[in-house]
């Protein structure tokens, strides 16, 4: 697991949105919706590793393959 924050966000989102189907008083349903929204926001904010760019990785792979020939 390279990025535990996205995993945590996914778990929060899944639990939050699934829990909206549970029978709880109407006054407390917003908590589960908020939990799901926070989980999705956490996933979105942490999904990109800003120190790794795909083009750099692709160039490294291509250079390595070229040198192996």
pLDDT band with cut points at 50, 70 and 90 for residue 3: confident
Q: Residue 11 has what pLDDT?
A: 93
Q: Are 41 and 9 in contact (CB under 8 A)?
A: yes
Block residue for tokens 């407390």: 28
* pLDDT one-digit tens code per residue, 36-61: 999 999 988 888 655 656 676 667 77
> Can you give the residue range of the structural domain that contains 48?
4-68
The number of distinct structural domains making up the chain is 1
Please report the DSSP string for 1-65 in residue order. Answer: ---HHHHHHHHHHHHHHHHTTS---GGGHHHHHHHHHHHHHHHHHHSS-TT--HHHHHHHHHHHH
Q: Are 47 and 6 in contact (CB under 8 A)?
A: yes
Distance between CA 14 and CA 18 in Å, rounded? 6
Does the predicted model carry a pTM greater than 0.85?
no
């Amino acid at each position: 697991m390279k990025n535990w924050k996205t995993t945590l966000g996914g778990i929060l989102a899944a639990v939050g949105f699934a829990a909206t189907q549970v029978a709880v008083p109407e006054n407390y349903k917003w908590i589960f919706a908020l939990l799901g929204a926070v989980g999705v926001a956490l996933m979105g904010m942490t999904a990109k590793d800003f120190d790794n760019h795909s083009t750099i990785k692709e160039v490294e792979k291509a250079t390595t393959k070229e040198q192996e020939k």
